[in-house]
């Protein structure tokens, strides 16, 4: 699954949060910053990916603010 997040997500600990969450859930992939935002690529079964998306939104550190969010398989 590819996830793109735009907003105030750089320099606020969001990328380490994503890494820890994916590792905890056993989802391989990567996360990177770019001038356009944060890009996440994770692999797993559908139910784990849906849980990952939900937890990204609910458990994120309080400083990041999402302006735009998209995901695709």
d(CA 64, CA 24): 20
d(CA 73, CA 61): 25
From 33, 46, 62, 67, the catalytic residue:
33
Neighbouring-strand partners of residue 73: none
Q: Is 15 a catalytic residue?
A: yes
From 15, 46, 48, 72, the catalytic residue:
15
Q: Is 72 a catalytic residue?
A: no
* String of DSSP letters for 40-55: EEE---HHHHHHHHHH
Catalytically active residues, by annotation: 15, 33
């Amino acid at each position: 699954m590819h996830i793109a997040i735009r907003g105030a997500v750089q320099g606020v600990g969001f990328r380490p949060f994503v890494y820890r969450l994916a590792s905890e859930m056993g989802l391989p992939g990567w996360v990177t910053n770019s001038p356009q935002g944060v890009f996440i690529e994770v692999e797993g079964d559908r139910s784990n990916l849906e849980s990952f998306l939900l937890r990204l939104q609910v458990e994120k550190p309080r400083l990041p603010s999402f302006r735009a969010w998209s995901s695709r398989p």
